[in-house]
Homo-oligomer: A and B are copies of this chain.
Amino acid sequence: MILTVTLNTALDLTYRVDRLVPHSSHRVATVTERPGGKGLNVARVLAALGHDVTVTGFVGGATGEALRAGLTGVCDALFPVAGATRRTVAVVDAASGDTTQLNEPGPLIAPSEWSAFLSSYEELLTSASAVALCGSLPPGVPVGSYAHLIRGARGAGVPVLLDTSGEPLRRGIAARPDIVKPNADELAELTGSWDPLPATRAARRRGAHAVVASLGPSGLLAATPEGMWQAKPPARVSGNPTGAGDSAVAALLSGLVSGEPWPRRLASAVALSAATVLAPAAGEFDATAYESFVAGVQVVERADAA
């Protein structure tokens, strides 16, 4: 199975209102409630692609119960903690579709909970074909934790993908994960450069075997041991970009466990990202669009002057 780790899971709420006006009162027309956090979105997409997927990370409180009740198609190995799973609220204006996001802080994880989680993670690795470490760290989890989880996966011989930002990314990449997938902002924060080509190379020199940078409508730029490629979507798509990066991660994992060559992995990842933009929510994609996009993705080799 493929294991996805979401340390800072969330119960994602979407509120539709006529128009958000600060300092006034709003009747919410419709409420959508679903399990959230990058690793859970990745797992949902992997399950839809036909993979056997297990999810882990922290879960607690009534919000955690609601999150677990909403998980379908994946094996739930979430680790219970005393604190309550956070909520995120996306307030969508009905007219414009513009979204205002409110993100609760995660629960405080006790040192004993973190060490008990590590034992559970080591156990899950014994049956994993690949592992993805996704998203932010909740309070109480040491900033170098992803590095620790990466060393655990490498010790167990399980390929590992890291998708996070800031200091956890900086520390994690030094532990030599198989793939990191920063977006343009994360790449610039990590390397100090907004020029994707040198920044992607620089990120790879920090320790990752492969760096796949997601550049929004410009697609993906990958620096790998086999070469450097840029993959561009066949057409500009408009819709909800939330979760597009998570779908790229799912496709990269799928290609990794199937042993596909890099250009094919990248084509799938770009097509799946674009098909996710067309779907209403993160963790979903338009399957018909995916099939039609995948053949149209242009994958171009870039001079690897690293």
Contacts and interface: CB of A to CB of B under 8 A. Distances in A.
A108 to B, nearest CB: 12
Contacts of A27: 103, 105
Contact of A102 (B23, B28, B101): B28
Nearest to A23: B98
A22 interface: yes
A124 B277 CA distance: 53
A74 interface: no
A184 interface: no
A99 to B, nearest CB: 7
Interface of A: 13, 15, 17, 20-29, 31, 61-63, 65-66, 69, 87, 89, 91, 93, 98-105
Given A24-B101, A62-B69, 10 more contacts: A20-B22, A20-B100, A21-B22, A22-B22, A22-B100, A25-B100, A25-B103, A28-B103, A62-B62, A63-B66
The count of identical subunits is: 2
A101 B28 contact: no
B26 A103 contact: yes
Contacts of A28: 102-105
Nearest to A61: B66
A41 to B, nearest CB: 17
Given A62-B63, A65-B65, A101 B26 contact: yes
Contact of A24 (B15, B62, B100): B100
B23 A99 contact: yes
Contacts of A98: 22-23
A13 to B, nearest CB: 8
B15 A104 contact: yes
A186 to B, nearest CB: 15
Contacts of A65: 62, 65
A233 B183 CA distance: 58
A71 to B, nearest CB: 14
A13 B84 CA distance: 14
A54 B100 CA distance: 39
A150 to B, nearest CB: 26
